[in-house]
Structure 1
């Protein structure tokens, strides 16, 4: 079970976006299984769509914070026993298509979906693939550093000497007393780097709601502030849950120093902290890449492939997608 299948994440998401016209709750999250809902709307204003989706995701209509490692079944040896209930859910429901985003390739979910689609005459399309990156923190930080390339090690760790020469360096956790300051800084840094804010009003409300509830699920926010002197120069949004640190977002002062990759350097402090904790085994950087290069691939010690798929039931939709995909 990941951070994204906690009640805190799923309930906060539904509290903010569940009232969207056309959304209907189908199934709450339970253990490792993501919640489900149906989105009813008209594509291009005319084609009726009834779409099953994971709570935490939406295809086409709204944009929300990304929810990864979604799953349809509990793990372990009990998966086969869960198939009949899931099959009954799809057989009994009125739906046009089902979109299941960011499912692990190494989980049984995709193969079960494929078999079910073949048996029912539904089509199955891949919408996107991605890779999630993580660092195993159960060894020593020095051994981890030794395994990195020299340039990566320079950016992640060795440039600390330059930073420390510019002023007193400190790390602080903005949770729970400086949350507004943290998100204000994150949005400010993102506006400079990307031209848009990291989180809009609804997303900020979601994250605040999620952070307030995650302790009930056994998690702990780590809103990391990196200071040089009295100035906050970088922020990293982490949440610890079940032995893993989930790195959700980050932002930093653009062009702070020509020799310092500030975002990577701050990640180095966070990764070192994870190595030093006996209760943590993983620092998960999740999916996605940087603006200029895939820095996560160079920092990671392991990775997981993710796939987003669509199962199509409607005969009209199957024809339209075949034409779109060039397989007709």
Structure 2
């Protein structure tokens, strides 16, 4: 697997510039556009016991809520076996830490196997703190074949009910990058407030997204802040970014209750997936990890699924006992 959008210099540097300069954070390995950066943070467990935590840039186990950074990795793709174990062991040994928390590694990767080996060799506790499924659509081939492979209900939601939607008025799709970025995120927040009773993008995370989007262009990325209008009213938004042959679907929002027979979010995804199939420089539409509010819609639309696992290593006997008691 080649480096993902989340290991790009744009994503990693934007995250660090937004959240990395607070008290207790120290960068210990910089990103290079291929592998994740690493940093140390210092906090007090239960407000009492001092903890030094080693983590990937783009992630925060206890202290921050930030956009999710997936496909994290220590080393480049061709690393493996004893060479990888030695490199990771050396990196972990040279730092003084209480816990090392590595979020969203690909399950079955050589890096996960190396962490298991290192923990066993060193006598460190090894914990899986979470796991999650991710989904993608292979866009090499014909869109009509893909649509035909879906179940009847999924085909209706993603494609067949376009005729109903387009009969309701003038339908127009626009990319608001780069001239109307603030408008796009305002619309995304509007839909999320109605659906989840909270904003999707805070003032702080808006800084991050704007930094990231302006920087990813210099690495060949193409932001697509897609908005669908019906009769000149915004009814759906998709936050997509094309990078090295993959379209990453980072966020979405839509008007609920627009029409009893329509799922605007699914229809908008259908347009975006069809566009990915039509572009010869695109091989995949990545729906990323996570589920919908009422159903795992990504599983219905995907042709590829994968799994992420988050791992914690703990050195201290005291902290191993405390974490075990906490579950």
TM-score range, shorter chain: over 0.9
Q: Which runs of 5+ in 2 are unaligned?
A: none
Counterpart position of 1:285: 287
Please give the alpha-carbon distance, in whole angstroms, between the structure 1 residues aligned to 2:113 and 2:32: 21
Please give the alpha-carbon distance, in whole angstroms, between the structure 2 residues aligned to 1:260 and 1:284: 23
Counterpart position of 1:171: 173
Instruction: Give per-residue Cα distances to partners, 1:136-195, cap 9 Å, x unaligned.
Output: 000100000000000100000011111111112121111111111100000011001110
Q: Confirm or deny: 8 A CA contact 2:173 2:226 kept in the other structure.
A: yes
Identify which range, 161-170 or 78-87, moves more after superposition.
78-87
Correspondent of 1:319 among 285, 306, 321: 321
Please give the alpha-carbon distance, in whole angstroms, between the structure 1 residues aligned to 2:224 and 2:326: 44
Counterpart position of 1:267: 269
Matched positions, count: 325
Please give the alpha-carbon distance, in whole angstroms, between the structure 1 residues aligned to 2:144 and 2:91: 50
Matched, 1:126 2:122: no
Q: Confirm or deny: 8 A CA contact 1:31 1:74 kept in the other structure.
A: no
Please state how far the C-alpha of 1:30 moved relative to its aligned partner: 2.4
Please state how far the C-alpha of 1:84 moved relative to its aligned partner: 2.8
The alignment's TM-score, normalised by the length of structure 2, stands at 0.97
Counterpart position of 1:11: 13
In 2 relative to 1, CA 249–37 (structure 1 residues): closer, same or farther, beyond 3 Å?
Answer: same
Report 1:75-224 matches (<5 A). Answer: 75-77=77-79, 80-224=82-226
Please give the alpha-carbon distance, in whole angstroms, between the structure 1 residues aligned to 2:136 and 2:108: 15
Q: Confirm or deny: 8 A CA contact 1:240 1:246 kept in the other structure.
A: yes
Please give the alpha-carbon distance, in whole angstroms, between the structure 2 residues aligned to 1:222 and 1:110: 33
Please give the alpha-carbon distance, in whole angstroms, between the structure 1 residues aligned to 2:8 and 2:124: 31
Counterpart position of 2:258: 256
Please give the alpha-carbon distance, in whole angstroms, between the structure 1 residues aligned to 2:89 and 2:205: 33
In 2 relative to 1, CA 69–244 (structure 1 residues): closer, same or farther, beyond 3 Å?
Answer: same
Correspondent of 2:55 among 30, 53, 60: 53
Q: Confirm or deny: 8 A CA contact 1:73 1:79 kept in the other structure.
A: no
Correspondent of 2:309 among 289, 296, 307: 307
Counterpart position of 1:231: 233
Q: Confirm or deny: 8 A CA contact 2:85 2:117 kept in the other structure.
A: no
Instruction: Give per-residue Cα distances to partners, 1:82-109, cap 9 Å, x unaligned.
Output: 4433322211211000000000013211
Please give the alpha-carbon distance, in whole angstroms, between the structure 1 residues aligned to 2:252 and 2:128: 29
Please give the alpha-carbon distance, in whole angstroms, between the structure 2 residues aligned to 1:135 and 1:298: 10
Please give the alpha-carbon distance, in whole angstroms, between the structure 1 residues aligned to 2:94 and 2:234: 54
Q: Which runs of 5+ in 1 are unaligned?
A: none
Please state how far the C-alpha of 1:318 moved relative to its aligned partner: 0.8
- SS of 1:116's equivalent in the other structure is helix
Please give the alpha-carbon distance, in whole angstroms, between the structure 1 residues aligned to 2:227 and 2:126: 44
